[in-house]
Amino acid sequence: MRGEDSFERPESSGKAVAWACRQAVAWSAVAAVVYWLVAQWGPLIPTAAVAPPARVPTIAAAPLAADAPVTNTMRYSANERGEVRLDADVDGAAVHFVVDTGANLVTLTPADAEAAGIDPAGLTYSMRMSTANGETRAAPVMLRGIRLGQLSVEDVQAVVVQNLSVSLLGMSFLSRLDHWEMRGGVLTISY
């Protein structure tokens, strides 16, 4: 592509910010397409070959030593499709997320954004994204906070994407944690 939507790295700082935003949205779109494909046709591994993940307690706190700081840990098991789904509070509204480690930004559906107090009329859909459902637009937003149980992360960058069926919990949230890991069908979050 050439022109305004070029994915070549710009030289000026103003253009660099716009370039970085386009890159973030583009990679989020790629992750959304992959998620949609897996949701439509299931995992590529036959389900008989995959053992269902064991149920893991949701929250556990365990100090390492008497003088070590306390680390709080939450664990979420993947479903039969390999998706980790969880509910979080976004600016006071309950939002159902699919964890997407390939998404650079938290991505909200228009309905979830409106429930979180974001005025749909005030959104500027300045970003364009290509998805499996065709081209769509996205509006950058800043969330006051996302809360999972006792964990709260403030000032989270996100986008509102038209034609999205489920909100995605991406790296603009996960990268702010002390530690996160996806292993054996279990997402472990430490804070």
Give the mean model confidence (pLDDT) for residues 168-184.
94
Give the mean model confidence (pLDDT) for residues 23-48.
62
State the pLDDT at residue 164.
Answer: 87
Q: Is residue 185 very low, low, confident or very high in pLDDT (cuts 50, 70, 90)? A: very high
- List, in sequence order, the alpha helices (H) in the chain: 13-41, 110-115, 171-174
State the pLDDT at residue 53.
Answer: 46
Q: What's the chain's average pLDDT?
A: 79
Q: Is residue 59 very low, low, confident or very high in pLDDT (cuts 50, 70, 90)? A: very low
Over 50: is that where the pLDDT of 6 sits? no
Q: Is 103 helix (H, G, I), strand (E, B) or coil?
A: coil
CA 7/CA 9 separation, integer angstroms: 6
Over 80: is that where the pLDDT of 135 sits? no
CA 13/CA 94 separation, integer angstroms: 37
CA 180/CA 172 separation, integer angstroms: 13
Q: How many CB atoms lie within 10 A of CB 35?
A: 22
State the pLDDT at residue 22.
Answer: 81
**Higher pLDDT pick, 164 / 8:** 164
Over 90: is that where the pLDDT of 124 sits? yes
Beta strand 93-99 with 167-169 is parallel
Would you list the domain boundaries of the chain?
3-190
State the pLDDT at residue 82.
Answer: 92
State the pLDDT at residue 37.
Answer: 56
Give the mean model confidence (pLDDT) for residues 110-120.
95
State the pLDDT at residue 13.
Answer: 63
**Higher pLDDT pick, 38 / 56:** 38
**In this predicted model, what pLDDT tens digit does every residue of 148-161 receive, in sequence order?**
999 999 999 999 99
Over 80: is that where the pLDDT of 66 sits? no
Q: Which is the CATH superfamily of the domain at 3-190?
A: Acid Proteases (2.40.70.10)
CA 176/CA 165 separation, integer angstroms: 25
